[in-house]
Amino acid sequence: MKIILASSSPRRKDLLGLITKNFEIIVSNAEEKLEPGLTSREEAENISYQKAKIVFDETEGDRIVIGADTMVVKENKIYGKPKTKEKAKQMLEELIDGDRTHTVITGLTVLIQKGKDYKEYKTSDQVKMYFTKITDQEIENWISTGKAYDKAGAYAANEEFAKHIEKIEGNFMTAIGLPIHKLYEIIKEYI
C-alpha cells in the first residue's frame, strides 16, 4: 500500500520516518483559511483534512494519505507563521506574556483507500507549552537564525529555541508537528 504525506514540512517527514521509511511526499498546496465559528482544535482538524483530501483526490489506487496542521494558541488567539521579523517578535512577546504558557494543537487526517474500502480518520492532539523567561536579546538571537518564519508561533521546540522551553505537558511529537502515537494506531495494520 502506498503511503503519502501531504506536507512539505521536514519535521513531519522525519516524524513519519519513525513509523515507516516507505512513503512519498506530495505537497497539497491547500489554502490554510480559518473558518469562523470553529474552535482552534476544529480548525486544525479542518485544515489537516483539506491538505489530505486535495492529495487524495489527485492520486489513485490503494493508498494512505496523511495530512496535518499545527497551530499555536493562546487565549483563543491563533498564531500562524510570521512573515516578518516584527511579526515574529510580536508573537514571541505575546507567548511569553503573563504565565508564559500556551497550547499547541496538531490536527491529523488519514484517508485510506484499499480496494473498494474507504476510511477517513480526522483527529487532533494538543500539548501545553511552558516557556522560561526570555529576554529581548534572546528573542532577537532566535529570530536572527532565520528559523522563526516557517513555524507556527515563530518558534520550534526541536531547534535551538528548545532552551527556552521549561516543560511540555503532552506528546512532544505533537508539539513539533505530527502526533505519531495516534497516526501509528490508525495505519499499523497497513504497514
Name the grid cell of 130.
511552558
Residue 180: enclosing H or E segment and its boundaries? Answer: helix 180-187
Under the phi-then-psi rule, with left for phi > 0, alpha for psi from -120 to 50, and beta for the rest, what region is 29? left
Residue 123: enclosing H or E segment and its boundaries? Answer: strand 117-131
CA distance 55 to 49: 10
Active site residue 136: no
CA distance 101 to 163: 15
Residue 105: enclosing H or E segment and its boundaries? Answer: strand 101-114
Query: How many Cβ atoms sit within 10 Å of the Cβ of residue 77?
Result: 12
CA distance 52 to 109: 6
Of 69, 117, 125, 150, which one is the catalytic site residue? 69
Catalytic residues: 69
